[in-house]
Chains A and B, each alone.
Chain A
Amino acid sequence: MSINALEIRELRKTYKGGVNALKGVSLNVKEGDFFALLGPNGAGKSTLIGIITSLVNRSSGEIKVFGDNLFSNPSAAKSHIGLVPQEINFSLFEKVMQIVVNQAGYYGIDRITATKRAEVILKELRLWDKRNETSRKLSGGMKRRLLIARALVHQPKLLILDEPTAGVDIEIRRSTWEYLKKINASGTTIILTTHYLEEAENLCRNIAIIDHGEIIENSSMKALLEKISSETIIADLEKPLKQIPYSSDYLISSIDEHSLEIKVRDSQGINDLFSWFNHHEIAVRSIRNKSNRLEELFMGMIEGKNEQ
């Protein structure tokens, strides 16, 4: 039996001032997993990560990291974890190289080893040219990559990333994904929060959804996506359409004269939809998904929950 990378039991957090950010969260993350923690703004993701990384005091509950209790054996538990925080938190005046090497020092890694490792990581993350710059002179995307470099220098077994690709361009986002896939493949367990559901869908094998401080879903990505019962498709039309012909099978609404929104249930084929278009002599230029599948599911869950 393989050991859990992370075990959280009944974790609760009430901030000073009374915000009940976590209301009894329990969660397991398996060793080697690539795990997505999703939830809307203010759901409690950063709070949960804050407690796991000792930046936030818990109100109650237990946490084990690779079997080591975070509260009774903090130095062992902490040495397993690497953190990419949501907010940039470098010293304004420290240079890139120093930031990475010093972080290694805090984990007890001697300076010679740390310098060698920093070189490898900074090259991999394409920051080597910037090693003698102060962090404030880096672009936003470079700062994000430096956060990752700093989190990895002590070779943690568990890497936790709180929105690692917020505000970076498509290319850097994709190269970051590739990099994360690579280190996951080499054995590092990864937990990631993100608001780009495409990111979670592409990378993660297991997923938990948190809302208002509670886990409302926890399963494999595959099982979750299978729950999706319908997809929304948008069709761009060749010619403006004044009136939508009636359909007994599909829920169709118009976005504007040139595009339609169509809800397609899983049991229905897309072929029938094309027959319908042909039948009514509607010329379709292109079709696309309104949003990605996870996004639709996610919205459904959060809305369903909030209506209760």
Chain B
Amino acid sequence: MSNSNFNKSATALLTIVRKEVVRFFRIWPQTILPSAITMSLYYVIFGNLIGNRIGRMGDVPYIQYIAPGLVMMAVITNSYSNVVASFFSSKFQRYIDELIISPTPNYIILLGYISGGIARGCTVGFIVVIISIFFTSFKIDSIAITVSVVFLSSLLFSLAGLINGIFARKFDDVSIIPTFVLTPLTYLGGVFYSIALLPPFWEKISQANPIFYMINAFRHGMIGKSDVEIAPAFIIIIVITTVLFISALALLNKGIGVKQ
């Protein structure tokens, strides 16, 4: 690629990212506020009210145990929703055509949308971290693990959201996966409990849930221990991310959902 083409692609990427970030900040009562409120309630109810009766999970106070899970929950749902909603709107109102007629390569379109998802996932994740400081002492065992798990998970779910957006034909299709797949998998991925508490059969089943690895890898980064080994968790996350990236790019190249 020539230098001038590189600069043009960079400008196009910047344009998409800016547009995406402006979008979710403009509609912050729909994009940022809900997670902030929900997570505050979780902290109050499960952390303080019920959590005090539960006592400790493993050897950390319950609220400190669930804090990483809640942050990850916010990151995952916000990354996903941002890309699926934004991409679907651009299809629905047909302003995706602005991009398709332009020389912007598909991988730039892809990077632009998922950067938007990562920006929102990480913004909301950060806000939830700030909120949790009011409820529990927030220590981080390994910054490197914490940050890279958040980033990779956000990337992974932005890609998944994009694929959902590519296939979505009506508004219902935008919320089906988050409601019926994402939320259950997150709850069952060990936000609120250690899977060691489950009967062996369900413990095995839980290990097939990718979100389980993210939540626990993140918890590992924060409190220094969790239900998973850190290396396999990273490998699983990276493999899934790669598969999703290749699939999303192939779908865009074929024009699925956007070209007749």
Question: Which residues of chain A have a CB within 8 Å of any CB of chain B?
Answer: 15-16, 50, 53-57, 74-76, 78-79, 81, 83, 85, 87, 89-94, 98, 102-103, 105-111, 150
Query: In the complex, given contacts A81-B101, A103-B98, what are 17 additional A-B residue pairs having Cβ atoms less than 8 angstroms apart?
Result: A53-B101, A57-B255, A75-B103, A83-B101, A85-B97, A87-B94, A89-B93, A89-B97, A91-B95, A94-B95, A102-B15, A102-B98, A103-B102, A106-B98, A107-B102, A110-B11, A150-B98
Residues 25 to 45 of chain B near chain A (Cβ within 8 Å): 26
Known contacts A55-B259, A89-B93, A107-B102; A75/B5 CB under 8 A: yes
- List, sorted by A's number, 21 A–B pairs whose CB atoms are closer than 8 Å: A54-B101, A55-B259, A57-B255, A75-B103, A78-B102, A81-B101, A89-B98, A91-B93, A94-B95, A102-B19, A103-B98, A103-B102, A106-B12, A107-B8, A107-B103, A108-B5, A108-B8, A108-B9, A109-B11, A110-B11, A111-B11
Q: Which residues in B have their C-beta under 8 angstroms from that of A83?
A: 97, 101
- Closest Cβ–Cβ distance, residue A89 to chain B (whole Å): 4
Contact partners of B19 in chain A: CB under 8 A: 94, 98, 102
Q: What's the least CB distance linking A117 to chain B, in Å?
A: 14
A89 touches B102 (CB 8 A): no
CB distance from A81 to the nearest CB of B (A): 7
From B7, B255, B260, give the contact of A15 (CB < 8 A).
B260
* Chain B binding surface SS class: helix
Expressed in whole angstroms, the Cα–Cα distance for A83 and B103 within the complex equals: 13
Are B95 and A108 neighbours in the complex by a CB distance under 8 Å?
no
Supposing A75-B5, A102-B15, A107-B8 touch, asked if A90 and B101 sit within 8 A by C-beta, the answer is: no
Quote the shortest CB–CB distance from A152 to chain B (angstroms): 13
Find B97's partner among A55, A75, A76 (CB 8 Å cutoff): A55
Instruction: Report chain A residues within 8 Å CB of B260.
Output: 15-16, 50, 55-57
Closest Cβ of chain B to A276, distance in Å, is 56
What is the bound-complex CA distance between A102 and B95, given in angstroms? 11
B interface residue numbers (CB < 8 A to A): 5, 7-9, 11-12, 14-16, 19, 23, 26, 89-90, 93-95, 97-105, 255, 259-260
- Closest A-chain residue to B98, C-beta based? A103
B96: nearest chain-A partner, CB-CB? A89
Contacts of A87 in B (CB 8 A): 94
Q: Which residue of A lies closest to B12 (CB)?
A: A106
In the complex, what residues of B have CB within 8 A of residue A106's CB?
A: 12, 15-16, 98-99, 102-104
Residues of B within 8 A of A15 (CB): 260
Which B residue's beta carbon lies closest to that of A87?
A: B94
Residue of A nearest to B22 (CB): A98
Q: Which 3 A-B pairs have the closest CB atoms?
A: A108-B8, A105-B15, A106-B102
Of A55, A76, A150, which is in contact with the most chain B CB atoms at under 10 Å from its CB? A55
Q: Which residue of A lies closest to B15 (CB)?
A: A105
| Across-interface contacts of A150 in B (CB, < 8 A) | 98
Contacts of A90 in B (CB 8 A): 93, 95
For A81, A91, A93, which residue has the most chain B Cβ atoms within 10 angstroms? A91
Once A and B bind, how many residue pairs between them come within 8 Å at the CB atom? 82
Instruction: With CB as the reference atom, state the residue of chain B lying closest to A106.
Output: B102
Whether the pair A93, B26 counts as a contact (CB closer than 8 A) is yes
- The winner among B14, B16, B26, B104 for most chain A CB atoms within 10 A is B104
Q: Tell me the complex Cα distance, A57–B23, Å.
A: 30
Query: Given the complex of chains A and B, what is the CA–CA distance between A107 and B5 in angstroms?
Result: 10
Using CB atoms, name the residue of chain B closest to A151.
B101
Q: Which residue of B lies closest to A21 (CB)?
A: B260
Residues on the B chain within 8 Å of A76, using CB? 103
Cα-based distance from A54 to B23 in the complex (angstroms): 26
Q: Which residues of B contact A57 (CB under 8 A)?
A: 255, 259-260
When C-beta atoms are compared, the residue in chain B nearest to A74 turns out to be: B103
CA distance A110 to B147 in the complex (A): 32
Contacts of B101 in A (CB 8 A): 53-55, 78, 81, 83
Q: How far is the CA of A93 from the CA of B24 in the complex (A)?
A: 12
* Cα–Cα distance between A108 and B93 once the two chains are bound (Å): 23
Question: A105-B14, A150-B98 are contacts. A91–B105 as well, Cβ < 8 Å?
Answer: no
User: A53's closest neighbor in chain B, by CB?
Assistant: B101
In the complex, the chain B residue whose C-beta lies closest to that of A88 is B94
Contact partners of A74 in chain B: CB under 8 A: 103
Q: How far is the CA of A79 from the CA of B4 in the complex (A)?
A: 13
How far, in Å, is A182 (CB) from chain B's closest CB?
A: 23
Q: How far is the CA of A262 from the CA of B42 in the complex (A)?
A: 84
Q: Which of A16, A55, A91, A105 has the most CB of B within 10 A?
A: A105
Task: Specify the chain A residue showing the minimal Cβ separation from B1.
Answer: A75
Contacts of B97 in A (CB 8 A): 55, 83, 85, 89
Q: Which residue of B has the minimal Cβ distance to A135?
A: B95
Q: Cβ of A53: which chain B residues have Cβ within 8 Å of it? A: 101
Name which residue of chain A comes closest to B5, CB basis: A75
Q: Give the interface centre of B7, B9, B259 by most chain A CB atoms within 10 Å.
A: B259
CB of A78, distance to nearest CB on chain B (Å): 4
